[in-house]
């Protein structure tokens, strides 16, 4: 069996971007490890949600351990940086923000974990972090460098399938589940993820959607019961989250597969 280390920016990112892949890998007997750049200190939380004296990062750390249990993840680690907020916000400039971290220093922390685990596979994000979040972009930069330092053989950039999103939105309009007046135009998604032509690896996670959704629910401070993630009917959730997409490093542009572990003993 192999070891997968999934490097994420904040607690709850693992649920949304890779929850199905993590659950599928664990079910197949692979060791799965989560590493976070931050504890999500600057996430939004409803007034009165936290206990008296409780800090958001404390709640989010507990939430992610629950999520990891649901997904079968065997180890959770944090690199020790602080949430950088959204792009262009004052939090970007704080000295302890992940966005401000020296890439080599942060990469050495992650590389230590990769070596300890003798990791076969590392997942990060694409170079835009999916949608331009500074911490997600930093995960890409730090993750690539850490893989070099630790000689991790397989690196996959998690991304969104831009064309799939567009098709799903159009299908929802045609089915009448989304009024055409409210529907975004296809061009609104041109900065999200990557086009299908760039995606090398499509993981079918439909058998693991119950775990993926339960993992999302574990992050109650960020994904409330009224969020669109949890309000979506099962068929819509399957269309939106039944596959997870990656770009594998070091393979030809026309390479296509459906498994992060293909060919590993």
Mean model confidence pLDDT for the chain: 92
E-strand spans in 126-232? Answer: 154-159, 201-204
Residue 49, φ and ψ in degrees, nearest 5: -70, -40
Give 32-50 pLDDT, tens digit per residue.
999 999 999 999 999 989 9
d(CA 102, CA 85): 17
Under a CB-based contact definition with an 8 Å cutoff, are residues 77 and 36 in contact?
A: yes
pLDDT attached to residue 130 = 85
Give the pLDDT confidence score for residue 240 in this predicted structure.
87
Look at residue 61 in the predicted model and tell me its pLDDT.
Answer: 97
Whose CA is closest to 17, among 146, 114, 130, 107?
130
User: Distance from CA of residue 126 to its chain's centroid?
Assistant: 11
> What are residue 10's DSSP bridge partners?
none
Dmax of the chain from CA atoms?
Answer: 54
pLDDT of 171 strictly over 70? no
How does pLDDT run across 197-215, given as a tens digit for each residue? Answer: 999 999 999 999 999 999 9
Q: Which pLDDT tens digit goes with each residue over 242-263?
A: 999 999 999 999 999 999 998 8
How is 68-100 classified by DSSP, letter by letter? HHHHT--EEEEEEEBP--STTSGGGG-TTBGGG
Map out the domains of the chain with their CATH numbers: 3-161+193-248 (3.40.50.10320)
Q: Which residues pair with 31 in a beta bridge?
A: 3
CA dihedral 136, 141, 145, 148 (to 10 degrees): 80
**126 DSSP assignment:** -
- The 10s digit of each residue's pLDDT in 137-159 is 999 999 999 999 999 999 999 99
pLDDT digits 0-9 by tens, 44-70: 999 989 999 999 999 999 999 999 999
Dump pLDDT digits (tens) for 154-169. 999 999 999 888 777 7
Separation CA 209–CA 237 (nearest Å): 8
> Considering only CA atoms, which of 121, 128, 249, 134 is closest in space to residue 194?
128
Q: Is the pLDDT of residue 232 over 90?
A: no
Question: Each residue of 79-110: pLDDT tens digit?
Answer: 999 999 999 999 999 999 999 999 999 999 99
Chain-centre distance for alpha carbon 24 = 15
pLDDT at 57: 96
pLDDT computed for residue 186 by the predictor: 57
């Amino acid at each position: 069996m192999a070891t997968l280390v999934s490097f994420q920016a904040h607690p709850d990112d693992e649920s949304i971007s890779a929850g199905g892949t993590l659950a599928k890998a664990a079910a197949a007997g692979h060791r799965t490890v989560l590493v976070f750049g931050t504890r999500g200190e600057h996430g939004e939380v409803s007034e009165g949600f936290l206990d008296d004296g409780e800090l958001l990062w404390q709640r989010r750390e507990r939430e992610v351990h629950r999520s990891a249990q649901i997904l079968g993840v065997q180890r959770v680690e944090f690199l020790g940086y602080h949430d950088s907020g959204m792009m262009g916000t004052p939090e970007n400039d704080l000295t302890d923000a992940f966005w401000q971290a020296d890439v080599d220093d942060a990469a050495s922390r992650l590389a230590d974990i990769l070596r300890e685990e003798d990791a076969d596979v590392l997942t990060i994000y694409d170079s835009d972090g999916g949608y331009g979040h500074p911490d997600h972009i930093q995960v890409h930069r730090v993750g690539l460098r850490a893989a070099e330092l630790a000689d991790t053989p397989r690196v996959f950039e998690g991304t969104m399938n831009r064309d799939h999103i567009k098709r799903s939105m159009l299908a929802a309009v045609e089915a009448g589940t989304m009024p055409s007046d409210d529907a975004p135009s296809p061009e609104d998604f041109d900065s999200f993820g990557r086009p299908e032509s760039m995606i090398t690896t499509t993981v079918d996670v439909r058998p693991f959607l119950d775990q993926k959704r339960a993992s999302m629910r574990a992050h109650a401070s960020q994904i409330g019961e009224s969020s669109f993630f949890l309000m979506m009917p099962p068929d819509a959730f399957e269309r939106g989250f039944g596959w997870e997409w990656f770009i594998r490093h070091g393979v030809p542009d026309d390479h296509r597969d459906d498994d992060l572990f293909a060919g590993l003993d």
